[in-house]
Structure 1
Amino acid sequence: MKKIWIIGLHEFRIRVRSKWFLISTFGLPIIIISLSLVSGYVAGSGIGSSVKHYGVLDETGIYGKSVAADLEQQYKDGEEGLY
């Protein structure tokens, strides 16, 4: 039984000293934390969430009033529609 522990300890020491063990132990958590911080910054900074303006050119007069009414509606949570 003592020989098994000696062999196991030897294998453990060899594996812990390897380059890939150190990279996976310290490098991957740093990469995961940095990706989380970057995604949180991008989500909080408003990048990609700018207000977009659209124009409706209705020369027939059919859609203009219904589009304007839809844009001016008030939602259930009290927030007004986009206009």
Structure 2
Amino acid sequence: MTEHSAAVDVAHPPEAMLRAVNPALRLALKTPLGALPGDFMVVDFTGRKSGKQYSTPVSAHQLDGDLYVVLEAQWKYNF
């Protein structure tokens, strides 16, 4: 049997850091100058229960020409 390693390692930044950085990152990515180093993008979605609109910066990954966003958050169930 062959073992495969994960294509992406999961790393969890501290929650306090995300609360501080995400608003600035979200704003920067939505401007014409929003091209930042790395593969970041903003995912806009509507909460499945609340109906509230959300915008969340995420890290995107390309694999074999396809674009993926790796999620561990509960809001992934909105898609």
TM-score, normalised to structure 2, is 0.22
Whichever structure has more helix as a proportion of its residues is: 1
Structure index of larger Rg: 1
Higher relative contact order (CA 8 A, sep 6+): 2
